[in-house]
Structure 1
Amino acid sequence: MNQQKQNGNIIAIITMFFLFAMISFVTNLAAPFGTIWKNQYAGANTLGMMGNMMNFLAYLFMGIPSGNMLVKIGYKKTALIAMAVGFIGLFIQYISSLFGADIDVFNLGEYAIKMNFIIYLLGAFVCGFCVCMLNTVVNPMLNLLGGGGNKGNQLIQAGGALNSLSGTLTPLFVGALIGSVTPQTAMSDVAPLLFIAMGVFVSAFIALSFIAIPEPHLRKAGHEKEKFSHSPWNFRHTVLGVIGIFVYVGIEIGIPGTLNFYLADPTEKGAGLLANGAAIGGAIAAIYWLLMLVGRSASSVISGKVATRTQLIVVSATAICFILIAIFTPKEITVSMPGYSVENGFEMASVPVSALFLVLCGLCTSIMWGGIFNLAVEGLGKYTAQASGIFMMMVVGGGIFPLLQQFISDAVGYMASYWLIIALLAYLLFYGLIGCKNVNKDIPVE
């Protein structure tokens, strides 16, 4: 019986790892797609980041309902619904490549917003519902299968490694498809990637249909809903952790998203790469996600011995140092990094050294999600499922803060916008040092 249960857990863990990868694949389409829309609207960074904003805005509406779905219909059905919704969202984005480019919907200052852009934003919003539901399934399940504590964090970090691998490949594929972005570049140029993504969702849906998933929070038919005397909001370390998730996702998305725009911008304001800027930006942004894979893989190895809190403190402080160097280093100082050329394929490209230090932040951000989640739910017991929905709602920070960063970059420049990231990292450092301590141990959680 124990052997059968162990085998079932292994299959469940592998399934959760696969879903973790799909989350990153869908999420990381938004930033490189944004370079297409940015150039169609005369280099407006804020409009270019709107797809990312819509993707994460969905979390605000779906976070708590996703947590409720775990209780009412279970992990498996929630994941299956998520993949069906993801397919629909990607299909809507594909439709934006077919029509609406010559239809003005409304004027936004100097820009005439077209119907195809509105359709794309709708598709990004629907995809946001998908990844929100998948995130709600994956994180508590991996924490549960690992038994909580450092072991739970270890599984979350291991799944995060696959998440980062998927995140590495996504901007790379988009950059390879579009090469240099011009005002004529359109969503039709990346249609093959959308078809691949839709095919992945269909395949995953079929595969998951035949896999048994443990359902620890599923409420049995006729079972009266348990009335809790408290809620996750009664735990100080959880509330501060919720803010930490809100802040962290903005950091994770904002660093490579703005870097991609910076490298793709051929003007004096940007990096000044006159040829294949979008391809080079996509390739270097991919290195950021690759380093997240490296960081999460390393964390999954050491998390059994090194405390989650210690890891969070070290990486927050290190990331602050990296970004300070990036801000104050003149862009005339360059370094060779792996890039991409439409003519020659992969080759070394000369880019500002600031790009190197921003990419290195991937090593730091890699473990933050799992670390914050692990610390914030420690000691919650029966309130964990409720907390998971709240955390998912706060992932909306991944839309709000990068959009705010693009607004700042439009006003005062790309590198100056990274002062926002430093402020957010300072909060995570505070959380690791002080905020993560459970001061509400008197609340019964069993």
Structure 2
Amino acid sequence: MSQTTKADANEHVNPHGGVDMNFDHSETATLAATAPATNWSQFGTLISVFFFWGFVAASNSIFIPFCKEYFQLDQIQSQLVGSAFYGAYFYGSLALYLASYLSGTDILNKIGYKKGIIYGLLISMVGSLALAFISGSGNATFPMILVAFFIIALGFSLQQTSAQPFAASLGSPETGAHRLNMAGGVNSFGTLLGPLIVSFLLFGAANATNVKADVSRIQVLYFFLSGLFIFAAIVFSVAKLPKTTTNEKLERSPKALRTLLIIGVVFLPVLFAEAIHENTGVPKAYIIVGSLLVILALLFGSMVAAKKNPVGWGAMSYPQLVLGMVAIFIYVGVEVTVDNNFGALLKRTEFGGFDESQMSHLIALYWGSLMIGRWTGAISVFNVNKKTKQLLTIIVPFIAFAVIVLANLVKGSPIGDYKYYPIFILFLIAANLYAQERPIKLLLSVSVLGVLFILVSLLTTGMTANYAIIATGLCCSVMWPCIFALAITGLGKYTSQASAFLITMILGGAIIPPSQGAIIDLDRGTEVNGITTGPYTHLSYLVPLACFAYLAWHTLKTKSVLKAQGLDVDQQVAGGH
């Protein structure tokens, strides 16, 4: 993967816009004296790319229940939308790293980050056009939809890898953190609007009931997105932008590469689970859960092997990095699975009995919860005193919530379902005030909250359970930067390589959701008057419960690993205040 300049080596962006603020200020005073002021017109174009990522990723939440009904799929099959999307991130990142490894040079650094974004936009444009033509052809099939989503996300993978150093080049490195947080906020706004707009396009009237959507209705949306991709690519191509490169040596890690390649092979059966099932009779659940367990075994096995003999493992010779890779895998997986399987739960009578055309406001609230957390997290980069920061930590979440309410009012969604949700926002505020920006304390706090929220959802029904599930978005919102900061602590020259390995673990979003879907499918055949009555759809949320519990354990384990190396991240942060 790409190497980054000294000034931005510790800033990282996740697929939904979260930013790791482990920022290195050691050279910013010198760099700021010579670096130009932020070029806001060019940065505005970059922000549009962040919006695309969030808009399309969150839109999957509406597409999944829609595709399940339209193409008559089971829950596992419907989750392949997410598998194709997040799998593309993994294969795109792996292909770029492999090409760089074989050529002995950083490919993205060689062509430049500007071209990387342009090529990524063009790839996404091809996928978007394909989806537009497929949806309007009258002969759309589910596999064709999956291929189009895979191509769009493949472009996103390249865009995302390039966007971080590009943002740093559009002004002083000292203000790079502010630009990335602003871009992350726009990304989260995209995740809020995606479900609302796509739902409206699919189902028409905001409060329509039992509307039979037609896949052809999304054709206009994806033609429009194709045009935006092309427009953004043209703007980037004509803009005079600084060339962001580095002379850092590409670190070779053959054993780590071998592990990633094996993971890529192990994941392939997930994408072709339906075909394998039809030809061999092996249950899809066995294929998916088996792949999940093998991938986790490979990662933990690599950590054990690297401890015995670190030669050839590169960044993966550090246990905090491998633990971080597993944690990113689990975190992205739980963030996606909580939501992508939410539609199946909302259709149940005891959870509201919503049909596909009625649930977008609750799905938007889940993604909006991530926006609430990220806007709150962005406060830390501003140079304000402690009392002002604490006051903003209390106020900003409710401002973000007001934006969510306003967006749903404009669409015409029933915002009465939101009236008690501010109670859950108070838990996020309390966690932030308690942690005081210390990554270990914050990650442990939100992981434990995630466990508690899921337990509430498993022990209740109705809007109480729905609220609890949605509130896990508040927990997920701050996890990426915490996990990233802990994983790259103490890695020195391997920091950039570690970042590349961590980004490949977005793969968790492709395999954990269908694993939960396999449990939901145990309820198939228990319909009464078209309504599923079995217990497994509700019990399937034991999967995110296990994920949040693991993340709590991960925090404590990583703390002990770092402490054994003489590193105390929370103490370092506290000392910097």
- Could you state the TM-score of these two structures normalised by the residue count of structure 2? 0.62
Return closer, same or farther for 1:207/1:256 CA change in 2, 3 Å cut-off: same
Say which is worse superposed, 121-130 or 371-380, in terms of deviation.
371-380
User: What one-letter code is carried by the residue in structure 1 that aligns with 2:562?
Assistant: N
Q: Give the helix-richer structure, 1 or 2.
A: 2
Say which is worse superposed, 119-128 or 226-235, in terms of deviation.
226-235
Q: 1:242–1:390: 8 Å Cα contact kept in structure 2?
A: yes
Return closer, same or farther for 1:245/1:214 CA change in 2, 3 Å cut-off: farther
Shift of 1:156: 5.3
Q: 1:57–1:399: 8 Å Cα contact kept in structure 2?
A: yes
Deviations 1:215-241 (A, max 9, x none): 24477xxxx856687611111111111
Shift of 1:204: 1.9
Distance in structure 2 (CA, Å) of the matches to 1:321 and 1:205: 45
Distance in structure 1 (CA, Å) of the matches to 2:245 and 2:63: 38
User: What one-letter code is carried by the residue in structure 2 that aligns with 1:212?
Assistant: L
Distance in structure 2 (CA, Å) of the matches to 1:251 and 1:258: 11
Shift of 1:270: 6.5
Shift of 1:168: 0.6
Deviations 1:327-372 (A, max 9, x none): 11123xxxxxxxxxxxxxxxxxxxx321112112221111112222
Shift of 1:421: 0.5
Return closer, same or farther for 1:184/1:401 CA change in 2, 3 Å cut-off: same
Match for residue 154 of structure 2 among 126, 129, 145: 129
Q: 1:165–1:293: 8 Å Cα contact kept in structure 2?
A: yes
Distance in structure 1 (CA, Å) of the matches to 2:153 and 2:438: 32
Q: 1:246–1:395: 8 Å Cα contact kept in structure 2?
A: yes
Q: 1:30–1:52: 8 Å Cα contact kept in structure 2?
A: yes
Q: Aligned residue pairs: how many?
A: 398
Return closer, same or farther for 1:252/1:152 CA change in 2, 3 Å cut-off: farther
Matched, 1:78 2:116: yes
Distance in structure 2 (CA, Å) of the matches to 1:251 and 1:46: 16
SS in 1 for 2:136: coil
Distance in structure 2 (CA, Å) of the matches to 1:318 and 1:10: 38
Return closer, same or farther for 1:213/1:435 CA change in 2, 3 Å cut-off: farther
Q: 1:236–1:439: 8 Å Cα contact kept in structure 2?
A: no
User: What one-letter code is carried by the residue in structure 2 that aligns with 1:302?
Assistant: S
Match of 2:438 in 1: 307
Match for residue 195 of structure 1 among 223, 226, 233: 223
Match for residue 562 of structure 2 among 421, 438, 444: 438
Q: 1:245–1:369: 8 Å Cα contact kept in structure 2?
A: yes
Shift of 1:82: 0.9
Shift of 1:93: 1.5
Match of 1:329 in 2: 460
Q: Mind listing any 5+ residue stretches in structure 2 that lack a counterpart? A: 1-30, 101-106, 254-310, 383-435, 523-534, 567-577
Matched, 1:252 2:282: no
SS in 1 for 2:357: helix
Match of 1:345 in 2: none
User: What one-letter code is carried by the residue in structure 2 that aligns with 1:191?
Assistant: Q
Structure of larger gyration radius: 2
Q: Mind listing any 5+ residue stretches in structure 1 that lack a counterpart? A: 102-114, 332-351
Match of 1:234 in 2: 317
User: What one-letter code is carried by the residue in structure 2 that aligns with 1:161?
Assistant: G
Match of 1:159 in 2: 183
Matched, 1:319 2:450: yes
5 Å matches for 1:346-425?
352-411=463-522, 412-425=535-548
Structure 1 vs Structure 2: percent identity of aligned residues?
Answer: 25
User: What one-letter code is carried by the residue in structure 1 that aligns with 2:370?
Assistant: M
Q: 1:173–1:193: 8 Å Cα contact kept in structure 2?
A: no
Distance in structure 2 (CA, Å) of the matches to 1:7 and 1:398: 37
Q: 1:72–1:218: 8 Å Cα contact kept in structure 2?
A: no
Return closer, same or farther for 1:131/1:227 CA change in 2, 3 Å cut-off: closer
Distance in structure 1 (CA, Å) of the matches to 2:48 and 2:336: 21
Q: 1:29–1:170: 8 Å Cα contact kept in structure 2?
A: yes
Shift of 1:155: 6.3
Matched, 1:282 2:282: no
Match of 1:88 in 2: 126
- Could you state the TM-score of these two structures normalised by the residue count of structure 1? 0.79
